[in-house]
A and B are shown apart, each in its own frame.
Chain A
Amino acid sequence: MELLVASAIGVLVACGVYLLLRGRTFPVVLGLTLLSYGVNVFIFVMGRLQSGTPPIIKTGAAGYADPLPQALVLTAIVIGFGMTAFVLALAVRARSALGNDHVDGVERSGPERVR
């Protein structure tokens, strides 16, 4: 199970980083989203993998999952949403102001521009 989680996080981070390095705003936003998925799960599993033991105090509970990473990730998810929204607004605004959606604000016509 640990291997599954570790590899899933690795794949999310790898795909996120690749998209982050693209030249247009929308893929970069998608990359950021993937990266924050990866990072959120990363922080979350620092409390180790525990099944069926939510951190809700009950008499007779078998144990509790680590609540601290969960609390951290909960706000991280919401803040991540705020950040995504902000970057998207920036992208829309930049496109309207600059006439293109390249992250540098300038369209660089590379040799492979024509497919």
Chain B
Amino acid sequence: MSLLLIILFPLLGAVLPTIAIRWGRNASAGSAAGVAIIPLALLFLDAPQVFAGKIVQAGWDWVPAIGLNLTFRLDGLGFLFALLILGIGLLVILYARYYLAERDPVGRFYAFLLLFMAAMLGIVLSDNLLLLLVFWELTSLSSFLLIGYWKHHADARQGARMALAITGGGGLALLAGVLLLGHIVGSFELPVILRSRELIQGSPLYLPMLVLILLGAFTKSAQFPFHFWLPHAMAAPTPVSAYLHSATMVKAGVFLLARLYPVLSGSDAWFYLVSGTGLVTLVFAAYVAMFKHDLKGLLAYSTISHLGLIMLLFGLSTPLAAVAGVFHIINHATFKASLFMAAGIIDHESGSRDMRRLNGLWKYMPHTAALAMVAAASMAGVPLFNGFLSKEMFFTEALELHQAGTLWWIVPAAATVAGVFAVAYSLRFIHDVFFNGEPVDLPRTPHEPPRWMKVPVEILVVLCLLVGIFPAYTVAPLLDVAAGSVLGGPLPEFDLAIWHGFTFPLLMSVMALTGGVLVYFALQYRFNLHMIVQSPSPGRRFYNRALARLAGLSVAITGGLQNGSLQSYLALLVAVTLLAGVFPFWQLGWHSGGRPLGMMDGVSGVAWLLLVVSAVCTVIWHRRRLLALIFVGVIGLVVSLIFVRFSAPDLALTQILVEVVSIILLLLALYLLPQTTPRESSVARRMRDAGLAVAAGLGTGGLVWAVLTRPQNTISSFFLEQSVPGGGGSNVVNVILVDFRGFDTFGEIIVLSIAALGIYAMISGLRVERPALDPAGRPWAAGGHPLLLRVASRILLPLALMVSVYLFLRGHNEPGGGFIAGLVTAVALIMQYLASGIAWTEARLRLDHQRMLAIGVLIAGLTGVASWLFGAPFLTSAFAHLHLPVLGELPLTSAMMFDLGVYLTVVATTMLMLVTLGKIGARENA
């Protein structure tokens, strides 16, 4: 439980700083610190178990069907990373309080930071690889927000986008790799995976899986050639850089390799890919770092280089190299975080990060200078500082390498060269900023920062020194448990001491130190370092070009498909549907089944002829709209006859009623639209449409024929058997609608209501130009409403209403029900509008359709809710049969209440639709 809380606190607590900002920046920072300190305390509560060598685990099912579970583990590696994330996170929270300017939205900053913290904690504590991936993507997203925090800066936005594109793309590769890994092992749970080394390395999928996972890790950890996003991410506020690029974001890739080290490492592919990439990155980035004039640029490339070093160590696949890798993770986190903070202080107090202008700051900020010097010495690998220890271990391992054969010298040589560069750029960081003459044209006069801004740096620097001088008393236990869980086995013998005697690694350190000093001063004084300007990296150029091309491609595709013409969309849609339909026809073949056919009779033949002729006539005369509408009406009637013919009385009733209201509706609309359609399609277009239409018709007809000639396999026997005992009604269709599938019906009346309200919103208050003459050039009839119709409709109204009540009541047992009764009522009411006009009818019929609609939906919904009161699920029905003296047996079901809701909704929506449309025409009459 506590593991979940460690993640949940920063995740949910991320909102607190945005609320607390109302009470000032201190409150906001304080709340963020509080949210981060609780998980740290929880972490320490679990520490005894971790240091006893146990793995703390907790888990819940999430989506077990795909193997995604909320399982968490806390082992030595997870503990180390969680400690770094939370510890450095707290220091960054304190530091940022003083770094951010008055006008920066501080609450949002802390919210993003905590979100990112939670995502990182999720990565290091996940016990399920899919879960890890979820958090992995969350770090990409939250780091996007952090890098782009100063969203008014174009380079911040671009840097954020680049980081997201690269790490997000790597995340996709990682997803594929993890899926392959899960496929090989059969589980995404780490305990299972970590036990399956032989299975994984023996699998033919090992290589593709490894490459994909490494792509994820390399992009995240900014390895060559994906490194270029990291320098651009320096557009972020410095606290973000200090956090993301020391202890967290970029370490996620390294963490992943450490996590999977027991099962992935040791193969040749792993060795060459990981140590090769690491080696190139190590040397290349260290070289580039020397020439960066921007303080943070130098630190960025140094970070890339150090990550390469850690990669290289893991790639070497010896136990001691892995220990050195873990050790360097700790050391790099401490000295790099403090260096970034120091760079931030310099930037903050002098207004510049350009080393060509920053000179001689020692006079102005000696305290900060001293702190920076310690951290830089650690970065350079000077003895007595922590960086020296892990670097010495690295040199030792570089020499121990036997896998490379006759090329054994490459790694030690490269390590020494990289060491030379590292000393050179560390020296530059100190010498160029704090000495080397006087400041050049700085925006501000530099001075020491506020007291509390230095505290985080001081803490980190003290750690660098303590670890560097007394490694055995400080870092050793933590290193033991962390390295132990990376190796997944016994630890190798190693000695965390400063002095190992006069050894070859020591010689390499001495060479690096002297070489670095020489290289720096040679560059500074012989080659005029300040004048050297580097061209932007080819990686970035490639990225920009690829992005531009991708955007161009999508614009072309979108422009081609989304050309703004509904006709071509629909044609494309029909064509694609046809293709999708043709495929199974073509693959499985098409043939008739053997079911005995029904006999054709004369009436059906006539109806068929009527339908086909009317449909064809609709198409032929579709330009003469009124005529086409009449044919459509005929088709509707024939369709309802089809329902009568094939035992569907409810459908026939519904169809004929809907036909009536539809035709009235179409007539109303036609009154407001042109009466004819111009001929504007080209012959080719019409031929194409006809081809599509005929193909669609043949396909559908062929499909129907194939189905109808085959025997049926239906689930309907359940409904037929359960209708009376389970639903209390013998009209199975109605029982299905209001009982078995009541939830669907509930959804449908809501859709209907939305359509009606949408129409009301669209049309209400609309004024349209109305033709003064009818299409034949005659004025509209002025005489009002015909007397006969008026009288007849008024007499019919009560009768029609009674019929609808009758249909409603019997609906559960005989054809009828809420839908049909509602439509009958609506037709009867609309007849009044047609016969006597809107004004006359509305004066007498005071129906608020919208309120009625709401009541209908509410009744239906409350009927469903009522079943909760009896402890049953939503819309469970109950029924009883009531005997009344005169009326006889009256079936009473809860479904009837539901049907009443349906009835009211149908009446209200139909009326609302028709009256709304009808009023447009009427408005100008008045």
| Chain A residues near B (Cβ < 8 Å) | 1-27, 29-30, 33-34, 37-38, 40-42, 44-58, 64-68, 70-71, 73-75, 77-86, 88-93, 95-96, 101, 103-104, 106, 108-113, 115
Chain A CB within 8 A of B615 CB: yes
Q: Is the interface of A mostly helix, strand, loop or mixed?
A: helix
CB distance from A77 to the nearest CB of B (A): 5
Report whether A26 and B670 are in contact in the complex, using a CB–CB cutoff of 8 Å.
Answer: yes
Query: Beyond A92-B673, A92-B763, is A56–B714 a contact (Cβ under 8 Å)?
Result: no
Chain A CB within 8 A of B406 CB: no
Q: Which of B656-685 contact A (CB under 8 A)?
A: 658, 661-662, 665-666, 668-670, 672-674, 677-683
Report whether B632 and A7 are in contact in the complex, using a CB–CB cutoff of 8 Å.
Answer: no
Report whether A70 and B705 are in contact in the complex, using a CB–CB cutoff of 8 Å.
Answer: no
Query: Beyond A13-B701, A17-B574, A104-B564, is A112–B681 a contact (Cβ under 8 Å)?
Result: yes
Most buried by A among B564, B651, B655, B741: B651
Query: Beyond A1-B599, A10-B700, is A73–B752 a contact (Cβ under 8 Å)?
Result: no
CB distance from B712 to the nearest CB of A (A): 5
Report whether B661 and A81 are in contact in the complex, using a CB–CB cutoff of 8 Å.
Answer: yes
| Docked complex Cα distance between A100 and B3 (Å) | 64
Task: Write out the residue numbers on chain A whose beta carbons fall within 8 Å of the beta carbon of B196.
Answer: none
Task: Write out the residue numbers on chain A whose beta carbons fall within 8 Å of the beta carbon of B914.
Answer: 85
| Docked complex Cα distance between A47 and B648 (Å) | 11
Report whether A95 and B673 are in contact in the complex, using a CB–CB cutoff of 8 Å.
Answer: yes
Report whether B567 and A104 are in contact in the complex, using a CB–CB cutoff of 8 Å.
Answer: yes
Report whether A92 and B669 are in contact in the complex, using a CB–CB cutoff of 8 Å.
Answer: yes
Closest to B820 in A: A74
Chain A CB within 8 A of B692 CB: yes
Task: Write out the residue numbers on chain A whose beta carbons fall within 8 Å of the beta carbon of B668.
Answer: 88
Report whether B741 and A33 are in contact in the complex, using a CB–CB cutoff of 8 Å.
Answer: no
Task: Write out the residue numbers on chain A whose beta carbons fall within 8 Å of the beta carbon of B595.
Answer: 48
Report whether A82 and B752 are in contact in the complex, using a CB–CB cutoff of 8 Å.
Answer: yes
Report whether B618 and A78 are in contact in the complex, using a CB–CB cutoff of 8 Å.
Answer: no
CB distance from B168 to the nearest CB of A (A): 37
Most buried by B among A46, A58, A77, A115: A77
Contact with A along B750-783 (1 / 0, CB 8 A): 0110011011001100111100000000000000
Report whether A74 and B714 are in contact in the complex, using a CB–CB cutoff of 8 Å.
Answer: no
A-B contact pairs, 30 of them (CB 8 A): A4-B608, A6-B704, A9-B700, A12-B611, A12-B697, A13-B693, A13-B697, A14-B693, A21-B571, A21-B689, A22-B677, A30-B632, A41-B642, A42-B700, A45-B708, A48-B595, A48-B712, A52-B647, A54-B648, A56-B815, A65-B646, A70-B648, A74-B819, A78-B658, A78-B752, A82-B755, A89-B913, A92-B920, A104-B566, A104-B567
Which listed residue, B628, B658, B705, B733, touches A67 by the CB 8 Å rule? B733
| Chain B residues near A (Cβ < 8 Å) | 564-567, 570-571, 574, 595, 597-601, 604-605, 608, 611-612, 615-616, 618-619, 622-623, 625, 628-629, 632, 635-636, 639, 642-643, 645-651, 654-655, 658, 661-662, 665-666, 668-670, 672-674, 677-683, 689-690, 692-694, 696-698, 700-702, 704-705, 707-709, 712, 714-716, 719-720, 723-724, 730-733, 736-737, 741, 744-745, 748, 751-752, 755-756, 758-759, 762-763, 766-769, 813-815, 819, 823, 906, 909-910, 913-914, 916-917, 920
CB distance from B640 to the nearest CB of A (A): 10
Which listed residue, B674, B814, B913, touches A101 by the CB 8 Å rule? B674
Closest to B642 in A: A41
Closest to B748 in A: A75
Closest to A66 in B: B716
Query: Beyond A30-B618, A78-B654, A78-B906, is A9–B672 a contact (Cβ under 8 Å)?
Result: no
Q: Is the interface of B mostly helix, strand, loop or mixed?
A: helix
Query: Beyond A21-B689, A92-B673, is A44–B651 a contact (Cβ under 8 Å)?
Result: yes
| Docked complex Cα distance between A115 and B678 (Å) | 9
Report whether B622 and A19 are in contact in the complex, using a CB–CB cutoff of 8 Å.
Answer: yes
Report whether B567 and A23 are in contact in the complex, using a CB–CB cutoff of 8 Å.
Answer: yes
Report whether B648 and A49 are in contact in the complex, using a CB–CB cutoff of 8 Å.
Answer: no
| Docked complex Cα distance between A77 and B702 (Å) | 23
| Docked complex Cα distance between A10 and B616 (Å) | 12
Report whether B654 and A77 are in contact in the complex, using a CB–CB cutoff of 8 Å.
Answer: yes
Which listed residue, B570, B612, B618, B714, touches A8 by the CB 8 Å rule? B612
Report whether A113 and B632 are in contact in the complex, using a CB–CB cutoff of 8 Å.
Answer: no
Closest to B766 in A: A96
| Docked complex Cα distance between A109 and B674 (Å) | 17
Closest to B747 in A: A75
| Docked complex Cα distance between A10 and B700 (Å) | 6
Report whether B819 and A47 are in contact in the complex, using a CB–CB cutoff of 8 Å.
Answer: no
Task: Write out the residue numbers on chain A whose beta carbons fall within 8 Å of the beta carbon of B574.
Answer: 17, 20-21
Closest to A48 in B: B712
| Docked complex Cα distance between A102 and B639 (Å) | 30
CB distance from B71 to the nearest CB of A (A): 43
Report the 9 A-B pairs with minimum CB-CB distance, sorted nearest first: A10-B701, A14-B697, A1-B598, A18-B693, A57-B730, A65-B647, A67-B732, A71-B736, A82-B755
Closest to A21 in B: B689
Which listed residue, A3, A15, A56, A57, touches B705 by the CB 8 Å rule? A3
| Docked complex Cα distance between A4 and B598 (Å) | 10
Report whether A2 and B598 are in contact in the complex, using a CB–CB cutoff of 8 Å.
Answer: yes
Query: Beyond A9-B704, A10-B704, is A56–B814 a contact (Cβ under 8 Å)?
Result: yes
Query: Beyond A26-B625, A79-B751, A92-B917, is A67–B720 a contact (Cβ under 8 Å)?
Result: yes
Report whether B752 and A79 are in contact in the complex, using a CB–CB cutoff of 8 Å.
Answer: yes
Most buried by A among B567, B731, B763: B567
Task: Write out the residue numbers on chain A whose beta carbons fall within 8 Å of the beta carbon of B643.
Answer: 44
Task: Write out the residue numbers on chain B whose beta carbons fall within 8 Å of the beta carbon of A106.
Answer: 564
Report whether B748 and A78 are in contact in the complex, using a CB–CB cutoff of 8 Å.
Answer: yes
Report whether A84 and B665 are in contact in the complex, using a CB–CB cutoff of 8 Å.
Answer: yes
Report whether B570 and A21 are in contact in the complex, using a CB–CB cutoff of 8 Å.
Answer: yes
Which listed residue, A64, A91, A103, touches B567 by the CB 8 Å rule? A103
CB distance from B608 to the nearest CB of A (A): 5
Task: Write out the residue numbers on chain A whose beta carbons fall within 8 Å of the beta carbon of B639.
Answer: 37, 40-41
Query: Beyond A57-B723, A91-B673, is A74–B632 a contact (Cβ under 8 Å)?
Result: no
